[in-house]
Amino acid sequence: MVPAVALLAATLAVLPLDPGPDDRIRGVTLAPIEDQRLGPVGYGTERSAIALAEAADLGATWVSLTPFGRLDDLEDTDVLHDFEIPAATNEKMLREAAAQARALGLKVAIIPHVYVMSGQWRGEIDPGDEQRWADWFRSYERFVLRFARLAQELHADLFSIGVEFKSSTNARPAAWRRVIAKVRSAYSGPVTYSANWDEVADVEFWDALDAIGLNAFWPLAGKPGDRFEVMRERARRRADELAGLALFWNRPVIFMELGTKSASDASLAPWEWPEHCDDLSYDEDYQAEAFEAVLEAFAPRPWFGGLFVWKYFSDPYDETQEPRTGFSPRGKRAEDVLSDWFRRGWGETGLDLFPE
């Protein structure tokens, strides 16, 4: 009997999806700063250029740019295209940030997000009856197509049709297939979806996309005090589970977001925002161990297409976006781990994810 991993590698080799000897995504998420009270520090500014240069020095080969729209609350059906700055200004800044990235040799992913202004999670959006859901999808299509057209203009290397819409992806796959078809009519590059970690196995439309994308914030620790050995074992078990998903759908897996806070026991609930957590104890060693555990478990897998680190900011010197215990690895021990893994070979993948 052919081992499952070998079978998967042989199957994926025939896809129009092989980065050559080892060109998997070694990426960082560059988060926008739209608050204009802070000055010219967002996408496309001099500070953004510094942040991107630091990413390239780290060994990153990709950057994801994350424009935001907004909903008032979970029942709202009107996705607005602006967040803290006008949508046209946002597009201009995205163009400039993409040009900065290209000048450094970085590939660019565009990943539009929707922020719920009430502070609730977008994965629980529920506008109500079928008519209101239809209204929501029409509004969302206008939003996502705006950025799909921009991605086409920018010759972006990857586009995500959405982020963590758990409440509808399994319940309304036909509607999402229509979204995918419209995105593909506007953008000719590779397309994925950024599923939540506990949603990814239930998505029914991976066959319509080029890769299985997920935001990898599953618990790596089982109890307070668990450290590297436990995190590595739990990451290996998760990799075994995702191997089956990749084999079933015949698609590589990409971590559209991978991060953990720089605090003790942060991997018990890595999805929690640091400002919503009480009594976090700063621990940059813990963050470094979490990255090491995941990369050791996933990098050797032939179906693993790479990752985007969550997250860096478009002003690397800004200290208002999150506390020291936050997700950014900048200036912390985690950067040593990331630089080491970004610069080493991960082995043949047999995936042509991003053909010329």
Residues contacting residue 346 through CB under 8 Å, at least 6 positions apart: 22, 24, 299, 300, 304
Q: If pLDDT is split at 50, 70 and 90, which confidence band does 193 have? A: very high
Backbone φ and ψ of 250, nearest 5°: 60, 45
**pLDDT for the residue 274:** 79
- Given a cut of 50, whether residue 4 has pLDDT beyond it is no
**Beta-sheet pairing, 158-163 with 107-110:** parallel
Q: What is the pLDDT of residue 18?
A: 41
The length of the chain, given as a count of residues:
356
Under CATH, what is the fold of the domain 24-219+227-260+306-318? TIM Barrel (3.20.20)
pLDDT class for 39, splitting at 50, 70, 90? low
Per-residue pLDDT at 1: 32
Tokens of 189: 């590059």
